[in-house]
Chains A and B, each alone.
Chain A
Amino acid sequence: MWRRLYALVIKELLALLRDKASRFVLIGPPLVQLLVFGYAATYDLNNIPFVVYNEDPGYASRELLARFDGTPIFRRIATLQSEELISAFIDRKDALMAIHIDRQFTRNLLSGRTGSVQVIIDGRNSNTAAIALGYVNSILFAFDQEWAATHSMPNPPANLVLRAWYNPNLLSRWFVVPGIIGLLTLVVTMLVTALSIARERETGTYDQLLVTPLRPLEVLLGKVIPGFLIGAVEASFISLMAVLWFRVPFTGSVLALVLGLFLFLFSAIGVGLMISALSATQQQGLLGAFLFLVPAIILSGFATPIANMPQAIQYVTLADPLRYLMVILRGTFLQGDGIAELSSQFWPLAAIGLISMLTASLFARRKMY
């Protein structure tokens, strides 16, 4: 049996790697995408353009604006002379934000009244707007506190001291790059498995395989093993890049990560082969691959948290193998988790893998139409 299986695995690997274009697709894009996405996928704000319309001749407004100019988050692109111009800058997306300071600002502040500032933010990207809003609030708040302290106003009764665990500077790269490991591993496994049985069906070589002494289970194993080999090599390489190139700290147990990736590959290959075994043509296989891949990624918690989803959709995510891998990746990289902390993530992966493999082997026996 082992010799037959060995020959079959070699044949499958050749089928994948012999074609120059196919070989390139398996190796090139995942690496390029790791680099591009690793830098692109960020929620952190940098150099956000803003415009200023300052009617106040006093020094307080200048001090306040200096705080906006001093942070790398915002970049002043223009100082306006009239209020009408604000909407032009924001409509065209030239500026994300406009700060309008009232004529009486300094005078009001000095006489103990409220100085008013109007801030307008483009809400077309609501997340960027919400985060910019947070920054603006904290700049205004810091100014308040300093003004109160230097102008002998009473101390506020209490101070808020904010701290973040596991990711003290709240770098979204630390959150996103481990996620990309999961994304690309899933894509590579789909590339290897989702079309493989469908292709043999369409070209007729599947029937030839079935009349050989190979048993259906061996045929299936012959498809599983190359998926494992290619998936494992790429996943390990990308994980190393995350640590060495993107400098994401790895604080947890390597064993937990390896176990997690192994179980994930098992379930992803199972789903890929199931799709392949269910489809009669490659067009159907491709459709199936997308119908799994796209929801699996969007509902995994990679970019938007699962906790924000409605309850019904949260139940759907339980069938998504990538969801568990995301927790394992972020847990082992950032939270210092080991096998014990992550055990609740391992067994669903194993269950999804078993079910999909069984389904795949059931349908793989089916003859051609």
Chain B
Amino acid sequence: MQLQRLSGLMRKEFLQILRDPSALGIAFAMPLFLLLLFGYGVSLDAEHVPIAVVVEHPSPLADTLIGGLDQSRYFRPVRFSDIIAARTALKEREVNGIFWLRSDFVRKALDGEGADVSVIVNGVDANTARLVESYLQQVWQIWLLQQQREQASVLTLPIGGELRIWFNPALRSRDYLVPGLIAVIMTLIGALLTALVVAREWERGTMEALMASPVTMAEIIIGKLLPYFVLGMGGMALSVAMAIGLFAVPLHGNLLVLTLASALFLLVALGMGLLISSVAKNQFVAGQIAIVVTFLPAFILSGFVFDIRSMPTIIQFITHLIGARFFVSILQSIFLAGNVWSVILPNAAALGVMAVVFLGLTLRRTRKRLD
């Protein structure tokens, strides 16, 4: 390997990058645009969920219960005069649930019989429905405790559960989604930067010209890798800066560890792009493969939104083929928990193995040979 030849190749690659600015766009405009859109747009925090409230027979007792709903930031109660109108609103997706106090509510509640309060939620979005149920239960328990205190009676809720959330006490979904988003966006950027570059040389016939020169294949690959690595790290730095500065995600870990892990992951993402490029040998197919194998797998199988621990065992096994999976783990830990070495080291090792495999395969596939 000769440094002079390598620097010549890299100079050529940089010139090509500057000539078609889409590579610069990929490295800098894309993380900016996507992170802005998603950082604000992607949220699993259901707040101000519209709930239809039907009180058939108004009473002070019913008011205390509905008051709990009014005060909760999770709900936006909408009054309906009867259950039929409320059901129509539920069907037409205007409200997500119905809270129904029947006319015998007060009578049954006061004579010790126990009144039934019906809650109907729209279950189509199962996750939101479950959150809504859980928030309703909280409102309900607060109300029960309040009744218990006011009537100075014996306990109706004997257990005092103290529930504590570590690492993200307010359960802001943005704090775990934004680090995950960085991993997904970097997967795209890495693959997009390199997916077409080797294929382009094959398609345009310039690969043959390169073969006729004294450069070795390893030099060609490194000459492709390094310039895009520099671009990719720039994009990465921009993403991290936005996560911390704009979205106020706390960074509990070390910036140096984060940089090293990112560099490792970028090698995996770029290596995957190069491999796609050398397998396809024409830009059209390389582009198609890049679309299919990068975004959706990184989105769904990385643990960025869907928790891997909830997947069936076979699928959990498959997720080990997705580089983003390891990076999401590292990022979520570094950002929210700190330098947890028992999480970082095994995941970093897996990334290292993937980088070696991708780059090694690329080198094997790119021989000085015309088929």
Q: Which of B121, B136, B155, B299 has the most CB of A within 10 A?
A: B155
User: Could you say which residues of chain B place their CB within 8 Å of the CB of A190?
Assistant: 291
Q: Does B209 lie at the interface of the complex (its beta carbon under 8 Å from any beta carbon of A)?
A: no
Q: Does B128 lie at the interface of the complex (its beta carbon under 8 Å from any beta carbon of A)?
A: yes
| Binary flags per residue of B30-60, CB closer than 8 Å to A gives 1, else 0 | 1001100110111111110100000000000
| Chain B interface, DSSP helix/strand/loop, else mixed | helix
Chain A residue at minimum C-beta to C-beta distance from B282? A19
Contact of A309 among B41, B117, B128 (CB under 8 A): B41
Q: Does A244 lie at the interface of the complex (its beta carbon under 8 Å from any beta carbon of B)?
A: no
Which residues from 127 to 174 on chain A have a C-beta closer than 8 Å to any C-beta of chain B?
Answer: 127-131, 133-134, 136-138, 140-141, 143-144, 147-148, 151, 153-168, 170-172, 174
Q: Does B213 lie at the interface of the complex (its beta carbon under 8 Å from any beta carbon of A)?
A: no
Report how far A338 CA is from B121 CA in the complex, Å.
21
Known: A195-B287, A287-B25. A115 touches B158 (CB 8 A): yes
The answer to whether A40 and B306 touch across the interface, beta carbons within 8 angstroms, is yes
The answer to whether A183 and B25 touch across the interface, beta carbons within 8 angstroms, is no
Report how far A127 CA is from B283 CA in the complex, Å.
40
Known: A19-B285, A25-B288. A40 touches B161 (CB 8 A): no
Chain A residue at minimum C-beta to C-beta distance from B204? A202
Q: Does A85 lie at the interface of the complex (its beta carbon under 8 Å from any beta carbon of B)?
A: no
The answer to whether A154 and B153 touch across the interface, beta carbons within 8 angstroms, is yes
Chain A residue at minimum C-beta to C-beta distance from B199? A282
Q: Which of A43, A128, A335, A341 has the most CB of B within 10 A?
A: A43
Contact of B159 among A144, A158, A171, A299 (CB under 8 A): A144
Report how far A106 CA is from B34 CA in the complex, Å.
53
Which residues from 171 to 205 on chain A have a C-beta closer than 8 Å to any C-beta of chain B?
Answer: 171-172, 174-175, 183, 187, 190-191, 194-195, 199, 202
User: Could you say which residues of chain B place their CB within 8 Å of the CB of A93?
Assistant: 329, 333, 343
| Nearest CB on A from B274, distance (A) | 15
The answer to whether A299 and B306 touch across the interface, beta carbons within 8 angstroms, is no
Q: Does B123 lie at the interface of the complex (its beta carbon under 8 Å from any beta carbon of A)?
A: yes
The answer to whether B310 and A43 touch across the interface, beta carbons within 8 angstroms, is yes
User: Could you say which residues of chain A place their CB within 8 Å of the CB of B279?
Assistant: 21
> Which of A29-37, A217-225, A254-262, A347-355 lines the interface with chain B?
A29-37
Q: Does B3 lie at the interface of the complex (its beta carbon under 8 Å from any beta carbon of A)?
A: no
Q: Does B270 lie at the interface of the complex (its beta carbon under 8 Å from any beta carbon of A)?
A: no
User: Could you say which residues of chain A place their CB within 8 Å of the CB of B40?
Assistant: 309-310, 312-313
The answer to whether B295 and A290 touch across the interface, beta carbons within 8 angstroms, is yes
| Binary flags per residue of A278-303, CB closer than 8 Å to B gives 1, else 0 | 00011111110111011101110001
Known: A195-B288, A299-B41. A121 touches B165 (CB 8 A): yes
Known: A117-B161, A124-B333, A128-B310. A148 touches B41 (CB 8 A): no
The answer to whether A116 and B162 touch across the interface, beta carbons within 8 angstroms, is yes
User: Could you say which residues of chain A place their CB within 8 Å of the CB of B280?
Assistant: 21
User: Could you say which residues of chain B place their CB within 8 Å of the CB of A316?
Assistant: 37, 41
| Nearest CB on A from B236, distance (A) | 17
Contact of A283 among B23, B158, B162, B342 (CB under 8 A): B23
Q: Does B144 lie at the interface of the complex (its beta carbon under 8 Å from any beta carbon of A)?
A: yes
Question: What count of chain A residues pass the 8 Å CB interface test?
Answer: 120
Q: Which of A64, A171, A305 has the most CB of B within 10 A?
A: A305
The answer to whether A129 and B168 touch across the interface, beta carbons within 8 angstroms, is yes
Contact of A165 among B47, B115, B120, B141 (CB under 8 A): B120
Count the A-B residue pairs with Cβ separation under 8 angstroms: how many? 385
The answer to whether B127 and A172 touch across the interface, beta carbons within 8 angstroms, is yes
Q: Which of A116, A117, A298 has the most CB of B within 10 A?
A: A298
Q: Which of B153, B164, B343 has the most CB of A within 10 A?
A: B164
Q: Does A59 lie at the interface of the complex (its beta carbon under 8 Å from any beta carbon of B)?
A: no
> Which of A45-53, A229-237, A356-364 lines the interface with chain B?
A45-53
Q: Does B196 lie at the interface of the complex (its beta carbon under 8 Å from any beta carbon of A)?
A: yes
The answer to whether A157 and B125 touch across the interface, beta carbons within 8 angstroms, is no
Q: Does B15 lie at the interface of the complex (its beta carbon under 8 Å from any beta carbon of A)?
A: no
Known: A124-B333, A295-B34. A148 touches B168 (CB 8 A): no
Contact of B123 among A48, A122, A155, A167 (CB under 8 A): A167
Contact of B315 among A36, A44, A161 (CB under 8 A): A36
The answer to whether A281 and B20 touch across the interface, beta carbons within 8 angstroms, is yes
User: Could you say which residues of chain A place their CB within 8 Å of the CB of B30?
Assistant: 287, 290-291
Report how far A237 CA is from B223 CA in the complex, Å.
44
Which residues from 155 to 183 on chain B have a C-beta closer than 8 Å to any C-beta of chain A?
Answer: 155-169, 171-173, 175-176
Q: Does B293 lie at the interface of the complex (its beta carbon under 8 Å from any beta carbon of A)?
A: yes
26 example contacts (A-B, Cβ-Cβ < 8 A) are as follows A22-B288, A30-B292, A36-B318, A117-B161, A125-B307, A129-B168, A134-B134, A136-B161, A138-B134, A141-B141, A141-B157, A154-B153, A157-B110, A158-B65, A162-B133, A165-B123, A167-B124, A170-B129, A187-B292, A202-B283, A286-B287, A307-B128, A308-B45, A309-B41, A312-B40, A316-B41
Q: Which are the 9 A-B pairs with shortest beta-carbon distances?
A: A134-B134, A167-B123, A164-B123, A123-B168, A43-B127, A123-B165, A157-B109, A114-B160, A313-B41
Interface residues of chain B, those whose CB is within 8 Å of chain A, are 20, 22-23, 25-26, 30, 33-34, 37-38, 40-47, 49, 61, 65, 90-93, 105, 108-110, 112-131, 133-134, 136-138, 140-141, 144, 147, 153-169, 171-173, 175-176, 188, 192, 195-196, 200, 279-280, 282-285, 287-293, 295-297, 299-301, 303, 305-307, 309-312, 314-315, 318-319, 329, 332-333, 336-337, 340, 342-343
Taking A115-B158, A126-B171, A191-B292 as known contacts, 14 extra A-B pairs with beta carbons closer than 8 A to each other, sorted by chain A number, are A21-B280, A93-B343, A109-B158, A113-B155, A131-B131, A134-B137, A137-B161, A156-B144, A163-B119, A175-B124, A283-B22, A287-B22, A287-B192, A335-B91
Interface residues of chain A, those whose CB is within 8 Å of chain B, are 19, 21-22, 25-26, 29-30, 33, 36-37, 39-49, 64, 90-93, 96, 109, 112-131, 133-134, 136-138, 140-141, 143-144, 147-148, 151, 153-168, 170-172, 174-175, 183, 187, 190-191, 194-195, 199, 202, 281-287, 289-291, 293-295, 297-299, 303-305, 307-310, 312-313, 316, 327, 330, 334-335, 341
